Amino acid sequence: GNSVTQMEGPVTLSEEAFLTINCTYTATGYPSLFWYVQYPGEGLQLLLKATKADDKGSNKGFEATYRKETTSFHLEKGSVQVSDSAVYFCALSASGAGSYQLTFGKGTKLSVIP
Amino acid sequence: DGGITQSPKYLFRKEGQNVTLSCEQNLNHDAMYWYRQDPGQGLRLIYYSQIVNDFQKGDIAEGYSVSREKKESFPLTVTSAQKNPTAFYLCASRSPGLAGDTQYFGPGTRLTVL
């Protein structure tokens, strides 16, 4: 079956530090890959996505590249801010039977301190 | 504004009671989903519906029921048969067309069983 593994947190960084959150996946076929962000007490917001190999998704300074050869989709940001403190989820979408079910990693909590 | 609304934000239930969580969307999306989130866990799929009057079980459907009588609405009932219902429940809908694998989430309902 499909699965997503992402680095366990929590991750604590100082403001303006470089961020990497690792994500690897197992899937049949050619899934789409996503990063979602969840702020305390809220639902998930789509951060970025990539639909095929070598695609780079980007948004709000965050980037992730779909690497089929290493089955990875690592999230990066060059300079984090306090407002980036949240839980980040890596996910894949499988189109089996047209359902496009999302399979999620367990989430990585990021805390950015001033 | 287009979006997904969930109500109530917080819900308390006594053991042995059924409770219904509301999910409404005005995005004109055909597909809708219910997920459950537990602390430190990723999201797990409860039920999904790809079209009105049709729905399918997800990975953890036992103790839950749904209906899809209108395109805009996909309510979830947590029955007394659900052994551990305290969790954060998230509803999502999926966009059609070229972005057809992207799901958008509501703000969630936190259910606590007393």
Query: pLDDT value at position A98?
Result: 65
CB contact under 8 A, B50 and A98: yes
Q: Which residue has the tokens 């839950």?
A: B64
Six token digits for residue A109: 């909590």
Q: How far is CA B50 from CA A18, B31, B75, in A?
A: 40, 4, 14
Six token digits for residue B41: 């866990």
In degrees and rounded to multiples of 5, residue B98 shows phi and psi of -65, -30
The tens digit of pLDDT for each residue in B39-65 reads 878 899 999 999 999 999 999 999 999
The tens digit of pLDDT for each residue in A65-83 reads 999 999 999 999 999 999 9
Which parts of chain A sit beneath pLDDT 70?
A: 96-98
Q: How far apart are CA B66 and CA B69, in angstroms?
A: 10
Taking contacts as CB-CB distances below 8 angstroms, the residues of chain B near A95 are 101
Q: Which residue has the tokens 């972005």?
A: B99
Six token digits for residue B64: 């839950």
CB contact under 8 A, B106 and A99: no
Our CA-based measurement puts residue A44 at a distance from the nearest CA of chain B, in whole angstroms, of: 6
Of the candidates A92, A87, A83, A112, the residue with the CA atom closest to the CA atom of residue A8: A87
Residue B36 · residue B88 · CB < 8 Å: yes
Q: Quick check: B104 pLDDT over 80?
A: yes
Chain A to chain B, count of Cβ pairs less than 8 Å apart?
Answer: 62
CB contact under 8 A, B42 and A104: yes
